[in-house]
Structure formats: structure tokens, C-alpha cells
Structure 1
Amino acid sequence: MNMFAVAIGGAFGAVARYLFGLLIMNRFPHPRVPVAMLFVNVLGSFGLGLFFGLIYGEIPEYVYDDTWFLVAGIGFFGAFTTFSTFSVETVELVRKGSYKKVWIYVSLSLLGSLLTFITGLHIGELL
């Protein structure tokens, strides 16, 4: 049952990432840095923080048997956000010698994701 919960959430998360990525790429067809996955990862981090805050009121230590966490935390947000694509895009920028863009992309991705997760967590705790 646990694998089914993760699979259901993951299916929705992967489709949402694809559609949101397309939307961003259509809106910004020639960005200086890869904004589609930047937005996806930052939004997904906010959503995961909000989820933790709303459902648990904190970051729980042991949730791997909780159905909501399996569906949303691991499944949906795990499939929606993508560290692997972030890595590919970062390496592409390095190979092109675009070191300023690498610094901007990595900084915005990491700091943005952390800050939006914390923000989502706090908002969720307050609601």
C-alpha cells in the first residue's frame, strides 16, 4: 500500500512538473539562466514546507508510514522538484564557461528553495 501511495503522488507530481515547466518555458523562451526548473524547485520547496506546517505543525522525525507524507511529501513533491535536472543544467552552464550564470543559478536555486521551504513551513504552522 505504501508504494501505491508514493506512486500516485509521484504520477501527479511528475505531470505537474512537466506542465509547469512548459508554462514557464513558454513565458520565458530564452532565459539567461534555466528558470523553468528554478521556479519548479522553489515552488515545490514552498509547497513541501507548507504541507509540513499545515499537516504536522513541524518537521516530524518519523513519518515514513504516514499515508499523507507518502502521497504528498515523497510522491508529489519528490516528483515535482528535481535535483537531477538542476545538476544537468548547472553542468551545462559550466561547460559553456558561463560561471556568472552558474553562480546565479545555483545561489537562487539553493537559497530560494531553502527560504521558500522555511516560509511555507511557518505559514503552515500559523494556519
Structure 2
Amino acid sequence: MNLLLLICGGSIGAISRYLVGLAIMKRYSNPPFPVAMLIVNLIGSFGLGAFFGINYQLIPLGAYNDPLYLSIGIGFFGAFTTFSTFSVEAFQLYNNKLWKKLILYVTLSIFGSILTFLIGLNLGVYFY
């Protein structure tokens, strides 16, 4: 049953990431750096924080048997956000010696994701 929950949540998350990424790339056809994945990861970090805040009021430890956590927390948001694509895009900037864009992209991605997660978590707790 746990694997089925992960499959369902992960499938929806991956499809959502793809569609949101396409929509962003359509709107920003020639961005200065990989803005689509940055926005997707910021949205996903905020959403995961809000999910935790609303449902658990904190970051749950050992919730791997909770169906809601498995399907949404791990499945959906795990597939919606992506560290691997971030790594590829950061490497492409590095490989092309686009140092300022690389530093901006990495900084915004890492610190922005942490910040949006914390905002989502606190808003979720507040509205709980």
C-alpha cells in the first residue's frame, strides 16, 4: 500500500513539475538563468512547508507510515521539486563559465528554497 501511495503522489508531482516548467519556459523563453526550475523548486519548498505546518505543525520525524505524508510529502513534493535538474543546470552554468549567473542561481535556489519552506511552514501553522 505504501508503494502505491508513493507512486500516485510521485506521478502527479512529476507531471505537475513538467507542466509548470513548460508554462514558465513559455512565458520566459530566454531567461538569464534556469528560472523555470528555480520557480518550481521555490513553489515546491513553500508547498511542502505549508503541508507540514497545516498537517503536523512541525517537521514530522518517523512519519513514514502516515499515508498522507507518503503520498503528498514524499511522493508529490519529492517528485515536484528536483535537486538533480538543479545540479545539471548549475553545472551547465559552471561549464560555460557564467560565474555570476551560477552564483545567483545556486544562492537563490538553496537559500530561497529554505526561506520559502520556512514561510510555508509558519503560515501553515498559523492557519492551522
Task: Give the match for residue 43 of structure 1.
Answer: 43
Aligned partners of 2:4, 2:60: CA distance in 1, in Å? 22
Amino acid of the residue matched to residue 52 of structure 1?
F
Q: For 1:73-103, what per-residue CA distance to the aligned partner results, in whole angstroms no more than 9, with x for missing partners?
A: 1100000000000000000000100011000
TM (norm. structure 1) is: 0.99
Aligned partners of 1:10, 1:28: CA distance in 2, in Å? 26
TM (norm. structure 2) is: 0.98
Amino acid of the residue matched to residue 37 of structure 1?
M
Aligned partners of 1:12, 1:61: CA distance in 2, in Å? 24
Task: Give the match for residue 86 of structure 2.
Answer: 86
Aligned residue runs from structure 1 range 35-74, under 5 A:
35-74=35-74
Gaps of at least 5 residues in structure 1 are: none
1:60 positional shift: 1.3
**Alignment coverage as a number of residue pairs:** 127
Aligned residue runs from structure 1 range 93-104, under 5 A:
93-104=93-104
Instruction: Report the identity percentage.
Output: 54
Q: Secondary structure at the match of 2:85?
A: helix
Structure 1 segments (4+ residues) deviating >2 Å: none
Gaps of at least 5 residues in structure 2 are: none
Task: Give the match for residue 106 of structure 1.
Answer: 106
